[in-house]
Amino acid sequence: MTSRVAAAVNAAAEQGRGAFVGYLPLGFPDLQTSIDAAVALAENGADILELGPPYSDPVMDGTVIQEATQAALAGGFRLRDTFTAIREITRRVDVPVLVMTYWNPVVQYGVDRYADDLLAAGGAGLIPPDITPEAGQEWIDASRRTGLDRIFLAAPTSSDERLRLIVENSTGFVYTVSTMGITGERAELDAAARILVGRLRAQGARHACVGIGISSADQVAGVLGYADGAIVGTALVRALRDGGLEGLARTTRALVAGTRPSTGSN
């Protein structure tokens, strides 16, 4: 089956630019507004949507995203709301929707049931940040059966053997993180991400998208000097929190401008 996510990355490349992947938590500030926010992301230039159902122990998220997900949980978000939201979003915009979710909720829901419901809602695939291909065989099998994309994370600490395993088992793109923490100077993060993308390409990766705390068009452009896509989360969540849907749309347009070679600097 053709990967809808890879097709979106390729379509951006054919237009002479990199792909923009935008992340938002579902249920923040409430379910309907999070749906409208995802639609606004797509309508203002995002090539791929990455949506995060809130989780009680978001170990890999920074403060802004943690606060948003805690608010969503306090507002009564339920796991099944994930599929309700995706169904409405995909009805309104034709952009691939990925779910970024920790693995435990998928297991609790039932891996095959989760895959089937995600597919039925119009979702494109899953990004499980806390499992590796070795531990993810059940999801690999389910995604092969359904045609959903499976996107694993690669980090600088990974061995070449591990990177090869990640490349072989990922579809759509490899999610490239410069550090597993949330601290560090940007110049160092950029260098780590650039090296990691090179290592992934050496292992056969066709598409590598990078997420490293990108918050400006120049930073988007810098990442797209060596990667196929730039992933932005915190800057978008902050824009929604502080400026509502209008603020989010404005910030999205500003960041997407960095995907075009004429804007920003490498």
Q: Compute how many other C-beta atoms are within 10 angstroms of the C-beta atom of residue 4.
A: 22
Region of 45 on the Ramachandran plot (φ > 0 left; ψ -120 to 50 alpha; else beta):
left
What is the helix (H) or strand (E) element at residue 210, kind and residue range? strand 208-211
Question: Rounded to whole angstroms, how far apart are CA atoms 53 and 70?
Answer: 11
What is the helix (H) or strand (E) element at residue 28, kind and residue range? none
50 carries an active-site annotation:
yes
Can you read off the two tokens belonging to residue 202?
Answer: 């050496």
Q: What's the sign of the alpha-carbon dihedral 248, 103, 154, 190? A: positive
Q: 17 by DSSP, 3-state: which?
A: coil
Question: Rounded to whole angstroms, how far apart are CA atoms 86 and 38?
Answer: 9
**Both ends of the chain: CA-CA distance in Å?**
35
Which residue, 219, 192, 241, is CA-closest to 69? 241
Question: Rounded to whole angstroms, how far apart are CA atoms 5 and 8?
Answer: 5
Can you read off the two tokens belonging to residue 27?
Answer: 């249920």
67 carries an active-site annotation:
no
Question: Rounded to whole angstroms, how far apart are CA atoms 15 and 52?
Answer: 28
Catalytic one of 36, 47, 61, 228: 61
Q: Using DSSP bridges, classify how beta strands 153-154 and 149-150 pair: parallel, antiparallel or unpaired.
A: unpaired
Catalytic one of 36, 50, 81, 88: 50
The answer for residues whose C-beta is within 8 angstroms of residue 193's C-beta and 6 or more apart is 176, 177, 178, 210, 212, 223, 226, 227
| Catalytic center residues | 50, 61
